[in-house]
Chains A and B, each alone.
Chain A
Amino acid sequence: MSDLDRLRGEIERLDRALLGLIGERVRAARRAAAAKRAASMPTLDPAQEAAVIRRAATLAREAGLPEEDVRDVFWLIIGLTRRAEQEASGAVAEQR
């Protein structure tokens, strides 16, 4: 096995780990949606989303990663998990 093959294997392992984590985050968001419903809170919490982005940007800076790109990634993940939350709360997701 060449060095490149080994590195590609390592990248695939990391991709699988990332997907596992995204799945975990979606499941956690569904549980959060249930908790919000129980507390009669709206599904979307704009201030909380902004806090998540701020935290991600700070961590990106500390890790020496490009901050703007990391913010993009987290807006994407937040959008993805919000959809899951809305579906969990019986959203109107169908087409008319």
Chain B
Amino acid sequence: MIIVMRAGASLPQIDGVREHVERFGVRSHVARDGFRTIIACLGESDALTESSVATLPAVESVTRWRTPYRLASRQLASHGATTVVRIGDGAGASVGGPALAVIAGPCSVEGREMLLETARGVGRAGAGALRGGAFKPRTSPYAFQGLGLDALRWLAEVRRETGLPVVTEALDPRQVELVAEHVDVLQVGARNMQNFPLLAEVGRIRRPVLLKRGLSATVTELLLAAEYVLARGNPDVILCERGIRTFESATRNTLDIAAIPVLRGETHLPVIVDPSHAGGRADLVAPLAYAAIAAGADGLIVEVHPRPATALSDGDQSLSLAGFRELMRGLAPFATAAGRTLASPPVGREAAA
């Protein structure tokens, strides 16, 4: 049940409605949409009827949920309004605002120096945040699994040196607090999109979460995964379309461009796109990135390596630093056409150097 209060409803009137539904054991969550107050009822009770709520003072309308997800639903925000998730201090470190958020860095952290070199390079080119894998979920158990705690420490050091906020993946609920001790944003990877204990844990610690769409997950399943995080009280969820598995083998995955406007219609959460995993080839990153921004994405997460040919993972899809600079230059007209801006470098303290 969604309760829309009349414009100008007083706080005691809003509290009265919340107390009414909570007496039936139903949790209430208040969302503000411009001048309107919307009360989302979470949970069901046969005894709580729409008519009993509709007659309460200052209630404008009572409607049913049309989606299985609640807190992620577009029904809690007006058309076009996007939740802004702040992952750092610069304009380019807010996802869902007027500026596009570009997160860039290596697939895996391979060492401190390569990470610092990459961070400086992407920061100067206009990235608002650094990505880098410490724990890698690889398809084969014999593939490089990431440098773990050493990588986390280097991420924290490079964060301090460059001022760039850092995004990295947590694979396991038991890692979440350790990862949170070192970085700004916790990524839940595509393979873990429906790891419900992990989702609950990243919901608990209330850091921004980057939630990637599973390889074969529908948009509804992605939004229900986001709901797990939101329901634990963490409102800062960024969705990421990274390509889905189809019959097409010319690309690593198929970038589901339509998912961007579909998500825009279904949710108020910001949406970014990972053109690196979608195409699986460096030469596809720029065209897929441009298409994503044209389709309304709030930003990009891009794999960048100073020497892609020697990368320990995902070298084929990683841009060089020069390639990333070229991508950012090419992005500008698409950003303008989509009514967005690109945060101008420098973002971090060092990026000014």
Interfacial residues, chain A to chain B (CB-CB below 8 A)? 40, 42-44, 46-47, 49-50, 53, 72, 75-76, 78-79, 82, 86, 89, 91-96
A46, A49, A76: which has the most chain B beta carbons within 10 Å? A46
Q: Are B205 and A47 in contact (CB under 8 A)?
A: no
CA distance A50 to B181 in the complex (A): 5
Closest to A37 in B: B89
B96 part of interface (Cβ distance < 8 Å): yes
Binary CB contact string for chain B from 159 to 202 against chain A (1 if under 8 A, 0 otherwise): 10001010000000000010011111000000000000000000
B42 part of interface (Cβ distance < 8 Å): no
Contact residue among B88, B91, B165, B349 (Cβ-Cβ distance under 8 Å from A40): B349
Contact residue among B82, B177, B234 (Cβ-Cβ distance under 8 Å from A53): B177
| Chain A residues whose CB sits within 8 angstroms of the CB of B77 once the complex forms | 95
CA distance A61 to B295 in the complex (A): 52
CA distance A50 to B179 in the complex (A): 10
Task: Give the residues from 82 to 98 in chain B that come closer than 8 angstroms, CB to CB, to chain A.
Answer: 82-84, 86, 88-89, 91, 94, 96-98
Q: Are B156 and A47 in contact (CB under 8 A)?
A: yes
Q: Are B88 and A96 in contact (CB under 8 A)?
A: no
Contact residue among B89, B98, B156 (Cβ-Cβ distance under 8 Å from A89): B89
| Chain A residues whose CB sits within 8 angstroms of the CB of B86 once the complex forms | 86, 91-93
Contact residue among A44, A49, A72, A92 (Cβ-Cβ distance under 8 Å from B204): A72
Interface residues on B, range: 20 to 34
Q: Are B84 and A93 in contact (CB under 8 A)?
A: yes
A76, A78, A96: which has the most chain B beta carbons within 10 Å? A96
Q: Which 8 A-B pairs have the closest CB atoms?
A: A79-B206, A50-B181, A92-B94, A95-B81, A92-B97, A75-B205, A96-B82, A92-B84
B233 part of interface (Cβ distance < 8 Å): yes
CA distance A92 to B182 in the complex (A): 23
Q: Are B206 and A76 in contact (CB under 8 A)?
A: yes
CA distance A46 to B180 in the complex (A): 6
| Chain B residues whose CB sits within 8 angstroms of the CB of A82 once the complex forms | 206
B163, B182, B206: which has the most chain A beta carbons within 10 Å? B206
With A47-B156, A75-B206, A93-B84 known, 16 other A-B pairs at CB within 8 A are: A42-B89, A42-B184, A43-B89, A49-B181, A50-B181, A75-B204, A76-B206, A76-B233, A78-B206, A79-B206, A79-B233, A91-B86, A92-B84, A93-B86, A95-B77, A95-B83
Q: Are B181 and A47 in contact (CB under 8 A)?
A: yes
CA distance A49 to B177 in the complex (A): 10
CA distance A44 to B96 in the complex (A): 19
| Chain A residues whose CB sits within 8 angstroms of the CB of B182 once the complex forms | 46-47
9 contacts across the A-B interface (CB closer than 8 A): A42-B165, A79-B206, A89-B89, A91-B94, A93-B84, A93-B86, A94-B84, A95-B82, A96-B80
A36: shortest Cβ distance to chain B, in Å? 9
Task: Give the residues from 48 to 79 in chain B that come closer than 8 angstroms, CB to CB, to chain A.
Answer: 77
CA distance A96 to B234 in the complex (A): 20
| Chain A residues whose CB sits within 8 angstroms of the CB of B159 once the complex forms | 42
| Chain B residues whose CB sits within 8 angstroms of the CB of A89 once the complex forms | 89
Closest to B234 in A: A79
Q: Are B206 and A46 in contact (CB under 8 A)?
A: no
| Chain B residues whose CB sits within 8 angstroms of the CB of A42 once the complex forms | 88-89, 159, 163, 165, 184
| Chain B residues whose CB sits within 8 angstroms of the CB of A43 once the complex forms | 88-89
CA distance A14 to B234 in the complex (A): 26
